[in-house]
Amino acid sequence: MQRPIKFQMIRRNILANMIARAWGVISVYLFVPLYLRFLGIEAYGIVGFYSTLLAVLAFADMGFTATLNREMARLSVRKDAAAEMGDLLRTYESAYICISSALAVAIWALAPAIATHWLRSRVLLPHEMAAAIRLMGVAIALQLPSALYIGGLMGLEKQVRSNTITITTSICRSLGAVLVLWLVSPTIFAFAAWQLISNVGYCSAARFGLWRALPPRADQSRPHFRWQAFRNTWHYALGMAGMAAVSALLAQADKLTISKMLPLEMLGYYTLAGALASAPLILASPIALAVFPRLTALVACQNSNGVRRLYHRTCALVAAAAIPVSMTLALFAGDFVRAWTGSAAAAQRAALPASLLLGGQLLQAIQAVPCYLALAHGYVKLNLYFNIASLLLLVPLLFFMVTRFGIVGAGLSWLIVTLCTMAPFMVLLHRRFLPGELRNWLLGDLFRPLLATLPVVLLARLLVPVPSSRLLTMGLIGAVCSMAVLAAGWSVPELRAEFIARTRGLFWRSYAHQ
């Protein structure tokens, strides 16, 4: 029996994910200027290095998070899978303890060498950087298993719960860091110490939330570590581990190159540009994550019509959200950074790299749902092969471009590689999983929001003068972005029809109560 698409649940999960990502945006844009004020641009470069290190070390996940997400979604359609789900989680959890402990020890030992031979600071002393990196290494060792537990909650479609945990701990982490820097010590060591304390709370809350979400076992027995869980999932997990390692290196190669070749100050400016350019994926990720369990269930039930309908609807939603925001921020990048940070130097150095990174990140955001479609089929080779090809293109290009153009060259390298790989990836993916649907994806899901967005953003950039006030500048950019989002959403027939239906429903309910 085929399982129907529960659009109401998907909407609720997307909303929960969007709220979490909205808080992610707010926290970045709210707290980054404060971090810069208390720490300075070089110490903020260490914060950027911490984020890079966390992303690069995602290879230590060994594909467990993605596998647990998929297996929880697959097992959730069975009524007799409670024991198998518990044993799978206990097995992965035990393996993660060993991996995280090894990572903490390794970073602790390598911290002095990183501070002395890798990072190039003009202000911070090597022993100060080494002490902070050691604390950050332990914080990373706690962050990784937190991702495992959140991935399990996502697979069970408990995304409201997972995002509640994420938002709450994120508020404590960001607001607490500002308070520590303000009231205790404005140093990178104090910042790292608070990250460690926050990650202890995050890991504990995520673990408790996932274990509570599992269905009760019929025999009331305790979960056990079972090698069979590895044997049943090793093929998919190995592919996901390879893809995670390559994806992490691909996403962080530019920052690693800058951290080695340029002063720490330039890494700080590039980290600032990267924070602004994260907007497209912040918008696309919650939508893709919300539909992944449902896509997996539909694939398992062999509901091809349901897969096709959900895929196009979600791709159009991603495009309508990501394209207007990305284009607005890219064209107003310098004005936004100036209004955001209050620094003319930051606006001058970070604006162009941010615009280039926004273009590359937008292309990545558009591919988010197609990537999850392949994973829903249990097929990781396509994503892995294209990530490897992108990495092989990106690394030599980075060394050349960063040497010639600095951080601008890094952003341009990322955009060039993404442009070169997107078209063949989308052609091969649709040919394998949704034959005959590439044209509908390109013309319906992608071009409609793009063509609706272009005139709004371009006319605003050309005709509307940017005010000198920081607050008014933010208001102008927000207004342009809102109009572009409305135009893009209106261009998608399903979104337009749903908006009209909901508006009519509200009108008639209001009329009936009069």
17 lies in some domain = no
Q: Are 239 and 158 contained in the same domain? A: yes
Residue 510: partners with Cβ closer than 8 Å, 6 or more residues away: none
Residue 266: partners with Cβ closer than 8 Å, 6 or more residues away: 45, 258, 349, 406, 407
Q: Are 449 and 308 contained in the same domain? A: yes
**Domain count of the chain?**
2
Q: Are 70 and 102 contained in the same domain? A: yes
Q: Are 356 and 445 contained in the same domain? A: yes
Q: Confirm if 444 and 312 have CB atoms less than 8 A apart.
A: yes
Rg (C-alpha) for the chain, rounded Å, is: 23
Residue 64: partners with Cβ closer than 8 Å, 6 or more residues away: 92, 95, 96, 148, 237, 241
4 lies in some domain = no
Whole-number Å distance between alpha carbons of 476 and 107:
45
pLDDT tens for the 514 residues of the chain, in order? 344 445 555 566 666 666 666 676 677 778 888 888 888 888 888 888 888 887 777 666 666 776 777 777 777 767 777 777 888 888 888 888 888 888 889 999 999 999 888 888 888 888 889 999 999 989 988 888 888 888 788 777 777 788 788 888 888 888 899 999 999 989 999 999 999 999 999 989 988 888 888 877 777 677 777 777 666 666 666 666 666 677 777 878 888 899 888 888 898 899 889 888 888 888 888 788 778 877 887 887 888 888 888 899 899 999 999 999 999 999 999 999 999 888 888 889 999 999 999 999 999 999 989 988 888 887 777 877 888 888 899 999 999 999 999 999 999 998 999 999 999 999 999 998 989 899 999 988 899 999 999 999 999 999 989 888 988 999 999 999 999 999 998 888 877 777 676 655 554 554 445 5
Whole-number Å distance between alpha carbons of 287 and 436:
24
Q: Are 478 and 492 contained in the same domain? A: yes
**Domain with 253 in it:** 41-261
Whole-number Å distance between alpha carbons of 281 and 315:
13
- Which amino acid would we find at residue 333? A
Q: Confirm if 176 and 198 have CB atoms less than 8 A apart.
A: yes
14 lies in some domain = no
Q: Is the dihedral of CA 39, 45, 49, 55 positive or negative?
A: positive
Cα–Cα distance list, 250 to 104, 136, 178, 221, 237 (Å): 23, 22, 31, 43, 19
Q: Are 286 and 414 contained in the same domain? A: yes
Q: Are 401 and 386 contained in the same domain? A: yes
365 lies in some domain = yes
13 lies in some domain = no
Q: Are 68 and 121 contained in the same domain? A: yes
Of 221, 239, 261, the domain-final residue: 261
Token pair for 387 = 């990530």
pTM across the whole model: 0.72
Phi/psi at 216 (5° precision):
-70, 145
Residues in the chain: 514
Establish how many alpha carbons lie within 13 A of residue 292's alpha carbon, considering only the half-sphere containing its beta carbon.
33
Whole-number Å distance between alpha carbons of 9 and 255:
38
Three-state DSSP at 60 gives helix
